[in-house]
Amino acid sequence: MFPSRPLLLIGTAISCASADCATISVTYNFAPQEAQVAIDHAASIWEGILVSPVPIKAMVTWIPMNGSVLGITFPNGRKDFTGAPVPQTWYATALANSIAGQELNPGENDIEIYLDASTDWYFGLDGATPSGQQDLVSVALHEMGHGLGFVGLSKKEGATGSLGLLLASDFAPLTTTFPWPELDSLPGIFDRFLVHPQNGPLDLMENPGPTLGSAMSSNQLRFNGPLTMIANDGEAPRIYSPSNFALGSSCVHLNEATYPVGNANELMTPFNSAGHANHWPGPLCLAMLRDIGWNLAPDVGMVEPCARSPLLELWPNPVQSELSISGIIAGANVVIRDVEGRTVMVLQGGSSIDVSGLAPGPYLVSTEAGGLAKHGRLIKR
């Protein structure tokens, strides 16, 4: 869901040099030809970023939504597929297909997007959006980002928050052509990285429950993927979680106030306004996509400062007391940082550490020496 926020043009498409470059096939309902050109351009930007052996199928429906939102996206989903990195977890099918190396949803769309036909759109590809018009390439790029996996399964009713209890009826009269899955109270992979600084990961809270509901509207949520924290100078970036929970906006965007207009990471924040454009996802979004499981084209690493780093093996994880670590760089210390980026523990040598004194919650574990670095994400129970 994409209401109103100003954007600034900060990037353009690049070409994927990989043999497994993603392809995105878009079908249209009612969209005028000039809109199709702009949306296809947004798809080409994502094609230059992502690696996937399986074509991505998107459908765009152009209907009046009375200006209440510019766009709404519904990703198809799969869980527990062959090769799924995390069990009992929902993945957008575009991502699941890429991981599995095969189409898991034949005959179904991966991404279904509704765009508001009543909006005064700018259809140009150059980002020179006139005052009073909305840049369609920017909005389409944003909505496709949700369809690719920048999305969660959060919901709040009264004081009670939940993961994996979303219903098709929550979004009526809009609907999907693919069957709405029984979500079984399970989180999405994006949700697995959402943490509250005091109460810990959302996926470890009672579901449904009031603590989860409070966290979802705390204005304090963060995304603690290890590659994202590396890209953000060791700190978990803020997630949009305002005091008034907004279905489709809360917990599925970067925080507006933290990444305002002109910031390199503004594209995946929740608001948009006329007269501006942004045609690049930004380093945090790309790192977040890596954390949830996407492989990115090699040439993306040439223009983004968040190259994939090898991961430490940590077990058990989550951990209560004794943590074992594999893959420590010879001669390097192991440093444990909290979600604020503060160093809370340093291990000098050895392959195990007593972490019983750490407060429950998420941590980034890293080791670095001689220009080499490895990182891992730890949950302390």
Kindly report, residue by residue over 253-282, the tens digit of the pLDDT: 999 999 998 889 999 999 987 899 999 999
Q: What pLDDT was estimated at residue 339?
A: 63
Q: Are strands 222-223 and 111-116 parallel, antiparallel or unpaired?
A: unpaired
54 and 181: one domain?
yes
265 and 167: one domain?
yes
More reliable by pLDDT, 226 or 130: 130
When mean pLDDT is compared across 62-76, 98-112, 330-344, the lowest value belongs to: 330-344
More reliable by pLDDT, 298 or 16: 298
More reliable by pLDDT, 316 or 210: 210
What global pTM score does this model have? 0.81
Q: What pLDDT was estimated at residue 42?
A: 97
Which region holds residue 133: left if phi is over 0, alpha if psi is between -120 and 50, else beta?
A: beta
pLDDT tens digits, one per residue of 327-367: 888 878 888 887 666 788 988 877 888 999 998 877 888 88
Residue 9: count other Cβ atoms within 10 Å of its Cβ. 17
54 and 133: one domain?
yes
* pLDDT band at residue 373 under the 50/70/90 scheme: confident
Rg of the chain over all Cα atoms, to the nearest angstrom: 20
Strand order in the sheet with 194-196: 200-201, 194-196, 222-223
158 and 203: one domain?
yes
What's at 21, amino acid-wise? C
276 and 359: one domain?
no
325 and 273: one domain?
no
Q: What pLDDT was estimated at residue 180?
A: 97
249 and 189: one domain?
yes
Domain membership flag for residue 85: yes
Domain membership flag for residue 11: no
- In a 10 Å sphere around its CB, with 0-12 CB exposed, 13-18 middle and 19+ buried, how is residue 244 labelled? exposed
Closest C-alpha to 8, from 120, 123, 128: 128
Closest C-alpha to 254, from 186, 337, 152: 152
Domain closes at, from 302, 332, 359? 302
Q: Is the dihedral of CA 351, 355, 358, 363 positive or negative?
A: positive
**Per-residue pLDDT at 248 exceeds 70:** yes
| Angle, helices 136-147/33-47, rounded to nearest 10 degrees | 50
pLDDT tens digits, one per residue of 117-172: 999 999 999 999 999 999 999 999 999 999 999 999 999 999 999 999 999 999 99
Domain closes at, from 302, 324, 355? 302
Please give the tally of structural domains in the chain: 2
Domain that holds residue 191: 24-302
165 and 36: one domain?
yes
Domain membership flag for residue 10: no
Mean pLDDT (the chain, rounded): 89
Domain membership flag for residue 1: no
| Residue 143, token pair as written in the block | 């909505």
* pLDDT band at residue 28 under the 50/70/90 scheme: very high
134 and 253: one domain?
yes
177 and 250: one domain?
yes
Domain membership flag for residue 8: no
271 and 372: one domain?
no
Q: Peptide bond before 179: cis, by omega within 30 degrees of 0?
A: no
More reliable by pLDDT, 302 or 43: 43
Domain membership flag for residue 6: no
Domain membership flag for residue 252: yes
Q: Are strands 322-326 and 313-315 parallel, antiparallel or unpaired?
A: antiparallel
**Per-residue pLDDT at 1 exceeds 50:** no
Phi, psi of 191, rounded to the nearest 5 degrees = -60, -30
288 and 365: one domain?
no
Domain membership flag for residue 89: yes
Instruction: CATH number of the domain at 337, please.
Output: 2.60.40.10
